[in-house]
Amino acid sequence: MKLGVLALQGGIVEHVHMLRRAAERLGVSAEVIEVRKPSHVEGLRALVIPGGESTAMYRLGKRTGVAEPLREAILEGLPTLGTCAGAALLAKEVEDRQSGRKYEPLLAVADFKVVRNYFGRQRESFEAELEVKGIGKFRGVFIRAPVIVPRSDSVAVLSEYKGEPVMVKQGNVIATAFHPELTSNTKIHEMLIEMAR
């Protein structure tokens, strides 16, 4: 099974590591590739969009032309996990909490709004015990993290922190405000691979 990590910028190798380990745990034989050109999208069974700076990834996604085929593949049902800035790339609506400035979405495939830097700056970055539906306890690592607010009933909230949605799922798309790849817990990556099986 061919799994991809969007490799424009950000925490790429961390996700490659987690996908390999998750596949091993599930007994799935998987090849993990880095996706940075339109030709890399073909044959993918699941995709991770890592965290990074969403403005940087937006520019690179447009310039490389990788955004268009990815958008089509996700709309056709490609199981996709977006973490932090990755969630912002999937969202139909993106804004910054402090300035209120709106950002053009890159892929615009999911009915949620991502509010960037919701929990503050790096000084306020934190880790916290979360409860994730279908998984249980999960150590959430939040780095200048956003919240992910559903815009329709078809978006299920899988986890909340202090009443704010930090993990959601809509059909084939999962989005987290936190970074599972900074822990040793592969459950969320396993969830993604299960969707591809």
Partner 1 sequence: MMLSQRDRLVEVGFDAIVTFFYKLAEAADKLKEEGLWTYLPDPSETLREVATGTLRVKLGFPVYQKGGVIMDVTNTEQAGIAEDAGAVAVMVLDKLPYDIRKAGGVARMADVNVIKEVMNSISLPVMAKVRIGHFVEAKVLEALGVDMIDESEVLTPADEKHHINKWQFKVPFVNGARNLGEALRRISEGASMIRTKGEAGTGNVAEAVRHMKTVMRELKELTAMPEEDRVLKAREMGVSYELVELAVRLRRLPVVNFAAGGIATPADAALMMWLGADGVFVGSGIFKSEDPRQRAEAIVLATSLWSEPEAVLEAQSMISERKSMMGIDIRTLKPEELLQVRGE
Asked if 47 and 79 touch (Cβ cutoff 8 Å), the reply is yes
**Is residue 181 part of the contact set for partner 1 (CB under 8 A)?**
yes
Closest CA to 189 of 32, 42, 7: 32
> 29-66 burial, b for 16+ CB within 10 Å, e for fewer?
ebebeebbeeebbeebbbbbbbbbebeebbebbeeeeb
Question: φ and ψ at 134, to 5 degrees?
Answer: 85, -10
Site pattern 69..108 for partner 1 (x: CB under 8 A): ---------------xx----------x-xx-x-------
Catalytic-labelled residue, pool 95, 179, 189, 190: 179
Q: Indicate the residue among 33 and 108 with the shorter CB distance to partner 1.
A: 33
Q: Which of residues 159-178 bind partner 1 (CB under 8 A)?
A: none
**Is residue 137 part of the contact set for partner 1 (CB under 8 A)?**
no
Distance between CA 165 and CA 45 in Å, rounded? 27
Q: Indicate the residue among 33 and 157 with the shorter CB distance to partner 1.
A: 33
**Is residue 36 part of the contact set for partner 1 (CB under 8 A)?**
yes
Cβ-based neighbours of 82, under 8 Å, separated by 6 or more: 48, 49, 88, 89, 90, 173, 174, 175, 176
**Is residue 42 part of the contact set for partner 1 (CB under 8 A)?**
no
Report the catalytic residues.
84, 179, 181
Q: List interacting residues with partner 1 (CB under 8 A).
A: 7-14, 16-18, 20-21, 32-34, 36-37, 51-53, 55-56, 58-60, 63-64, 84-85, 96, 98-99, 101, 116-117, 121-129, 141-144, 179, 181-184
